[in-house]
Amino acid sequence: MSRTVTLQIGHLGARGDGVSSLGDAPVFVPFTLPGEEATIVMDGRSASLLSISDPSADRVEPVCPHFGTCGGCALQHMALPAYRAWKASLFEKAFASRNLDTSAIKPAQFCEPHTRRRAVFSAIRTDAGVQLGFLQAGSNRVVDLRECHVISPAIDAGRPKLKALTAAFLPPAKTVHVTVNETVSGLDIAVDGKFTLGEGAKRRAADALSATNFVRLTVNGEIVLELKRPLVKFGDIAVSPPPGAFLQAVPAMEESMAALVCDHMAKSKRVADLYAGCGTFAVRIAKASTVHVVEADGAALRSLDRGVRDAGGFGLRQVTTEKRDLARRPLTAQELKPFDGVVFDPPRAGAEAQTREIAASTVQRVAAVSCNPETLARDLRILVDAGFRLRSVTPIDQFIWTPHLEAVALLDRLKSAKRHWSDL
């Protein structure tokens, strides 16, 4: 049974919701800010906001009319300086909870609106046409976007054509994912969902693609048509990513992250780049060092191999690749022996097993890239306990108005540190 209550919001939680309490239980209230008095409807454990009686001085008018409905953004109601201060604080909390040196945390770097070059939309074909956008928070309903303030101008301009393209072949009433990667050659579209593409639908899809300026259409992993090779540039090296490939979300933020990683690896002769994707960091590091790339996604590695081959004359050192599941089978301390530098950039779960092997190895320098402050702090604790010094951690905000936050942590092994082979 639902009930209406009025609560004082104390602080923002890790997902950007205002946090209050009811009895002993915490209550998370979306779209509220610290200090506000909010009247909410409690339905079970979920709270929805009815009204705010004393808005915070940090409250602003959201820039997007879909804010509050669309699940893409959580914090457009917060003034930018307060939003940024909150984001920067996420690492402080995670680090303090692991007793890590918070003075290593550098000022965060923030992306601008309209800069995201990768979007994973949802789409559904209805009688009124295709609806395309992000899902409503906590629901499977697609919010049909009329505007969006996070995606790049090229992706935004492509939305109407994307709807026309998908209308040509999507079966009705099935929600699918549409990954759009903005590449140097144009938009690369990958559609994934529970449907099969018959021959007629495939022809319609190919014809519809030809009427757009998109470069490639892939449906459920099968390339329907590639009009041009999609290319992304990692530094001055061009790589053609596989359909729907992971790319860092904002090019300027990728540059910042890569600069931090490459500077730190500059003294390393042989670097292992783990969880390397299509080589975002590897090809840049390979300008100065040999690089061994390890990654679970074979298609990403094939893209990287081809990019390196095509780059022949660009002065890359040797790049070798290995397909491997690093969560199940991390590179062992013994296998890490030839390397003096390691970069790792795992998914949200972090890289605990791999980090234990690095801790037990002779590796001198580590660059840990992460999209999760908690798992990063856990993994860094392992390295610090094994004698690594945390030189810096730079928070990188490439998902504006969301609670997601990346970071690049740089460590080196203290000269006097004894390795704890037996303790680890």
13 vs 221, beta carbon nearer ligand SAM? 221
Query: Is 345 annotated as contributing to ligand binding?
Result: yes
- Which residue among 67, 169, 214, 246 contacts ligand SAM (CB under 6 A)? 246
Residues facing residue 360 across a β-bridge: none
Query: Is 248 annotated as contributing to ligand binding?
Result: yes
Shortest distance in whole angstroms from residue 274 CB to ligand SAM: 7
Start-end of H helices in 224-343: 251-265, 282-285, 298-310
State the DSSP string of 395-424: EEE-STTSS--EEEEEEEE-TTPPP-TTT-
State the DSSP string of 315-344: ----EEEEE--TTTSPPPTTTTTT-SEEEE
Do the beta carbons of residue 230 and residue 301 sit within 8 Å? no
The one-letter amino acid code at 366 reads V
Tell the burial category of 128 from Cβ atoms under 10 Å away from its Cβ (0-12, 13-18, 19+).
exposed
Size of the site for ligand SAM (CB under 6 A): 17
Do the beta carbons of residue 33 and residue 18 sit within 8 Å? yes
Do the beta carbons of residue 293 and residue 321 sit within 8 Å? yes
Residue among 380, 364, 350 at smallest CA distance from 104: 380
Q: Is 262 a catalytic residue?
A: no
Shortest distance in whole angstroms from residue 299 CB to ligand SAM: 9
From the CB of residue 419, how many other CB atoms can be counted at a distance below 10 Å?
15
Shortest distance in whole angstroms from residue 152 CB to ligand SAM: 17
d(CA 367, CA 393): 10
131 vs 218, beta carbon nearer ligand SAM? 218
70 vs 94, beta carbon nearer ligand SAM? 94
Shortest distance in whole angstroms from residue 34 CB to ligand SAM: 31
In the set 148, 262, 278, 371, the catalytic residue is: 371
Shortest distance in whole angstroms from residue 323 CB to ligand SAM: 8
Q: Candidates 21-29, 52-60, 102-110, 270-278 — which segment interacts with ligand SAM by CB under 6 A?
A: 270-278
Start-end of H helices in 103-216: 153-167, 199-210
52 vs 245, beta carbon nearer ligand SAM? 245
Give yes or no for residue 182 binding ligand SAM (CB under 6 A).
no
Do the beta carbons of residue 341 and residue 266 sit within 8 Å? no
Give yes or no for residue 397 binding ligand SAM (CB under 6 A).
no
- Interaction pattern, residues 338-357, with ligand SAM; x per rule: CB under 6 A: -------xxx----------
328 vs 415, beta carbon nearer ligand SAM? 328
Start-end of H helices in 66-219: 80-97, 153-167, 199-210
- Interaction pattern, residues 295-334, with ligand SAM; x per rule: CB under 6 A: xxx--x------------------------xxx-------
Residue among 102, 98, 97, 94 at smallest CA distance from 383: 98
Q: Candidates 17-25, 185-193, 290-298, 305-313 — which segment interacts with ligand SAM by CB under 6 A?
A: 290-298
- Interaction pattern, residues 201-240, with ligand SAM; x per rule: CB under 6 A: ----------------------------------------
Among all chains, which residue has been given the structure tokens 């965060």? 108
83 vs 246, beta carbon nearer ligand SAM? 246
Q: Which residues lie near ligand SAM (CB under 6 A)?
A: 246, 248, 275-277, 280-281, 295-297, 300, 325-327, 345-347
Q: Which residues are catalytic?
A: 371
Binding site residues for S-adenosyl-L-methionine, as ranges? 248, 275, 295, 345
